[in-house]
Chain A
Amino acid sequence: DAKTTQPNSMESNEEEPVHLPCNHSTISGTDYIHWYRQLPSQGPEYVIHGLTSNVNNRMASLAIAEDRKSSTLILHRATLRDAAVYYCILRVLNQAGTALIFGKGTTLSVSS
């Protein structure tokens, strides 16, 4: 599996945008970039995924670099509820149903 690198922790203030970076310099052409998050004492939660183009959904936006060696998860207005561990995970396109390999992720703290 291609490896991802994320900062251990980040801090944000409520109602400000948050940009969570992920480096994946060994990404292959069939790897999708997935983001999950885990709120305290809860199971992981799907956030967003993409291949090449930037993606938006109701939770967040995913900005993917042109060379695909890095990506950024953008929370447009952080709330206290967004305090969680955020995981950037690569998954091969044609391996539907295969495992998510979680790293340590980025622990996001949000202050009021």
Chain B
Amino acid sequence: EPEVTQTPSHQVTQMGQEVILRCVPISNHLYFYWYRQILGQKVEFLVSFYNNEISEKSEIFDDQFSVERPDGSNFTLKIRSTKLEDSAMYFCASSLRGTEQYFGPGTRLTVT
């Protein structure tokens, strides 16, 4: 069964550094998303992406964040200058028709 994959599984970075989290969505899907979950808290929406542009973003997704689909298979989330409070589990999701979303296993980001 096709699945969403994410790399790396765990990323440790120093405050102020740039990080890129990578996702490979399910191959024929058209809608892509990033969510995050701070330890012990709710899953929070960051951004959705469709037709090569952002379709919706949350207040969390400020100028420090960007997304890109550099080729036909990858979908990336960049955090320009990480802060301690960016430490969280980051989940990528994809959807064929924008209805049910399929999530990856997540990347644990630790900012020190």
Contacts and interface: CB of A to CB of B under 8 A. Distances in A.
Interface of A: 32, 34, 38, 42-46, 49, 87, 95-104
A43 B36 CA distance: 10
Contacts of A102: 42-45
Contacts of B105: 42-43
B75 interface: no
B52 interface: no
Most B-side CB within 10 Å, residue of A49, A96, A104 = A96
Interface string B82-112: 0000000001010101111111111000000
A16 B4 CA distance: 32
A27 to B, nearest CB: 17
Given A43-B103, A44-B103, A96 B42 contact: no
B76 interface: no
Contacts of A32: 99
Interface in B1-57: 4, 31, 33, 35, 42-45, 48, 50, 55-56
B68 to A, nearest CB: 17
B66 interface: no
B73 interface: no
Contacts of A104: 42
A102 B43 CA distance: 6
Contacts of B31: 96-97
A101 B45 contact: yes
Given A42-B105, A42-B106, A99-B58, 4 more contacts: A96-B31, A97-B56, A99-B45, A100-B101
A99 B33 contact: yes
Given A46-B100, A98-B48, A103 B91 contact: no
Nearest to B32: A97
Contact of A43 (B98, B100, B106): B106
Given A42-B105, A43-B106, A100 B99 contact: no
Nearest to A99: B45
B88 to A, nearest CB: 13
